[in-house]
């Protein structure tokens, strides 16, 4: 899956400052990423603090350089968190990722995991429950169990539960409603391969 890159530590100070400004400019008012985490305000504050510290550090004063390095480290932490948010919000959509201002990953490397097989969605032992399961996937480090009541939208909103188990019982669902479910297997390098969706009416 395409993702926003987090290799900010490789950038020199000037390029980090420039990259941060580009990201903030692209995300401000971007409808694809309406609720950034961390907030753009906090990243902007960290960016300004780093820029001011960078100016002070040009004097060569050791204390000023140490302070600049501290501001740089704090900014990078926030940018990495923001990149994680962007990656999940875009859900692999290259168009959305390109509007974020982040550098994005190259073509995905061959996956070391296969598509989960034999997805079963069954009613649970109690009302309002669904039991979801797939066959174990070799190399999978975890599984994403996802469900939604509306799959007709261009970008369905999936409720996701991450677990190390290939089997999960979801409760507190609405009896009589149809739910669409899928399971994603997550590889050791972050590869994510989903089943096709299967529907079930909850009793």
Rounded mean pLDDT, 164-174: 94
**What does the pLDDT look like over 21-67, one tens digit per residue?**
999 999 999 999 999 999 999 999 999 999 999 999 998 899 999 99
What are the domain boundaries of the chain?
A: 8-98, 120-201
- Predicted TM-score (pTM) of the model is 0.52
Separation CA 162–CA 148 (nearest Å) = 15
pLDDT band, very low/low/confident/very high, at 152 (cuts 50, 70, 90): confident
- Cite the DSSP H helix spans in the chain: 13-27, 40-57, 62-90, 94-98
CATH 2.60.40.10 fits 120-201, yes or no: yes
Quote the percentage of the chain above a pLDDT of 70. 97
The number of C-alpha atoms within 13 Å of 78 and in the hemisphere containing its C-beta is 23
Separation CA 185–CA 42 (nearest Å) = 34
**What does the pLDDT look like over 55-114, one tens digit per residue?**
999 988 999 999 999 999 999 999 999 999 999 999 888 778 888 988 888 755 555 788
């Amino acid at each position: 899956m395409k993702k926003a890159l987090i290799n900010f530590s490789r950038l020199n100070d000037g390029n980090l400052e420039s990259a941060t400004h580009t990201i903030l400019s692209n995300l401000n008012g971007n409808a694809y990423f309406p609720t950034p985490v961390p907030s753009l305000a906090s990243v902007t504050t960290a960016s300004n603090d780093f820029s001011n510290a960078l100016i002070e550090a040009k004097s060569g004063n050791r204390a000023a350089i140490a302070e600049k390095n501290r501001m740089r480290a704090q900014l990078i932490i926030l940018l990495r968190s923001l990149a994680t948010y962007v990656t999940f919000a875009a859900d692999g959509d290259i168009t959305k990722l390109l509007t974020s201002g982040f550098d994005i990953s190259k073509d995905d490397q061959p996956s070391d995991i296969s598509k989960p097989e034999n997805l079963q969605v069954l009613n649970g032992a109690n009302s309002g429950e669904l039991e979801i399961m797939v066959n174990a996937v070799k190399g999978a480090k975890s599984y994403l169990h996802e469900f939604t009541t509306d799959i007709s939208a261009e970008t369905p909103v999936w409720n996701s539960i991450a677990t190390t188990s290939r089997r999960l019982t979801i409760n507190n669902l609405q009896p009589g409603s149809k739910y669409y479910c899928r399971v994603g297997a997550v590889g050791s390098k972050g590869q994510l391969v989903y089943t096709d969706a299967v529907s079930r009416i909850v009793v």
